[in-house]
Homo-oligomer: A and B are copies of this chain.
């Protein structure tokens, strides 16, 4: 069973927070920065424009994106944390 976001929602999985410094010291959870990089896991079909056309979302599954610091909805699928963001709230993407 797969989860499909509706409208212009984008399901992302945040990168794992670094828990060990480069020098090998373990970081307590509080010192770990909020991870804003994420991978797109699923995208909604987009929104219907006023002209009646479907406006697809601007990111694709598998792309690496930069999330805003606030916002997004945490959802749990099979005991794993994901986040839903509106397409328009995603700041940008990393391209090769």
A residues in contact (CB < 8 Å) with B: 1-7, 9, 11, 36, 42, 44-45, 48-53, 55, 58-59, 64, 66, 68-69, 73, 75, 84, 87-88, 90-96
Q: Assess A5 versus B94: contact at CB under 8 Å? Given A51-B52, A52-B49.
A: no
Chain multiplicity (copies)? 7
Considering residues A7, A84, A91, which has the most beta carbons from chain B within 10 angstroms of its beta carbon? A91
Q: Do the beta carbons of B50 and A9 come within 8 Å of each other? A: no
Q: What are some 14 contacts across the A-B interface (CB < 8 A)? A: A1-B95, A1-B96, A3-B94, A5-B91, A5-B92, A6-B59, A6-B91, A9-B91, A11-B92, A44-B92, A50-B51, A51-B51, A73-B91, A75-B91
